[in-house]
Amino acid sequence: MLERPQYIASEIYRHSTYGGTHPLSIPRVSTVTDLIHALGWMGEGQYHDSPVATPDQLARFHDRSYIEALWRAERDGDLPEDEKQRYHLGINGNPIHPTVFRRPATACGASIHAAGLLRDGGIVHSPAGGTHHGRPGQASGFCFFNDPVLAILGLLDQGLERIAYVDVDAHHGDGVQDAFEGEERVLTLSIHEEKRWPRTGAADDRAGGMARNMPVPSQLNDDEFLYLLDTVILPLVSEWEPQAVVLQGGCDGLADDPMSRMGLSNRALWQTVRSLKPVAPRFLCLGGGGYNPWAVARCWAGYWAILNDLEIPSQLPEDAQSVLSGLRWSHRLGRNPPAHWMTTLADEPRYGTIRQEIRAIARTVMQ
């Protein structure tokens, strides 16, 4: 069993972007990693340089023709129009960029490696993971491959019979749910904003019996999120008695994120990590959505602190502030970033009334 939490990342994310004004043109994994180092939170032996998944490893879930097309797209910088349409490459928010194969293959390599590290138990954090929309033969929703699926398959290969996948991204974890529809060894739970792309994951959608979905209205506050965590997610996961928990920790539901209309503070998402951490002997914490570089770095660094039982300071030390103050973001929210984005990790709580819609969702899911 792993003695301490392990962290997997790669330098590819420092030098690779989706290009132009794409929402994922921002630095994320590299900033989180730098912030953790600046805080002195990376102990000896905890950091792993991510391997790149091989075509054979990717083919455990993805079509070989698609894998080969993605490799050619990186090599040639383009694809014939018919292949773009077939594989959703170069269209629909899935740009062909200089690392369009290696970057997602690296995220998959990290998740596959994480499953191996967790064979005998422990905790792994891979912030580059969480590409939960990827389809066997198509890119979808900025996701070229589906690393959570590959991680779960790796855990199943070890003989595990009960795996809980919890997804707190603002967008429904459709690719993972569909991959394990009817698979009695994998329970998938997703809390996401209703009427937001991909517009799936209704509260009565059980996907063969092993899925539970919580589509929430806009402006979800911390109290509402924690109500669903306490009355739905934790009871269902605990009753399942999982041998492993995989958390897709997307943070685009934060109030400071431009890609949803949810209204959470990072404290609510941190509580998810804190609550799920002791539930199973194996815990894999992935990244996911997140389109404000300051919000992502502060939230995911907080994940790492909680996984290591570290105290989160009320005021960041100078080196950590320098990491955050060095960020640049062309979005209107980045033109005059508030001071607390540079000086603290924790957001102010976003309390609020628990609406009847939230209680109704809980009742539907728990029926």
Listed residue (11, 37, 16) closest to 26, CA to CA: 16
At 164 the pLDDT is 98
Report the run of H or E that residue 149 belongs to, with start and end.
helix 147-157
Average pLDDT on 238-252 reads 98
Average pLDDT on 94-98 reads 97
Whether the predicted pLDDT of 273 surpasses 90: yes
Which one of the listed residues 88, 113, 125, 133 is annotated catalytic?
A: 133
Listed residue (208, 171, 159) closest to 188, CA to CA: 208
Q: Which tens digits make up the pLDDT trace of 126-164?
A: 999 999 999 999 999 999 999 999 999 999 999 999 999
Q: pLDDT confidence of 193, banded at 50, 70, 90?
A: very high
At 274 the pLDDT is 98
At 100 the pLDDT is 98
Tell me if 130 sits within 8 A of 190, measured CB to CB.
Answer: no
DSSP characters over 157-170: HTT---EEEEE-SS
Please give the Cα distance from 288 to 216 (Å, whole number): 18
Average pLDDT on 85-100 reads 97
Report the run of H or E that residue 223 belongs to, with start and end.
helix 222-228
Whether the predicted pLDDT of 20 surpasses 90: no
At 208 the pLDDT is 84
At 102 the pLDDT is 98
- Is 171 designated active site? no
Whether the predicted pLDDT of 19 surpasses 90: no
At 106 the pLDDT is 98
Average pLDDT on 280-291 reads 98
Alpha-carbon separation of residue 346 from 128, 221, 264, 337 (angstroms): 21, 16, 12, 15
Mean pLDDT taken over the chain: 97
Ordered by where they begin, the domains of the chain are: 6-366 (3.40.800.20)
Q: Which tens digits make up the pLDDT trace of 199-237?
A: 999 999 999 889 999 999 999 999 999 999 999 999 999
Whether the predicted pLDDT of 109 surpasses 90: yes
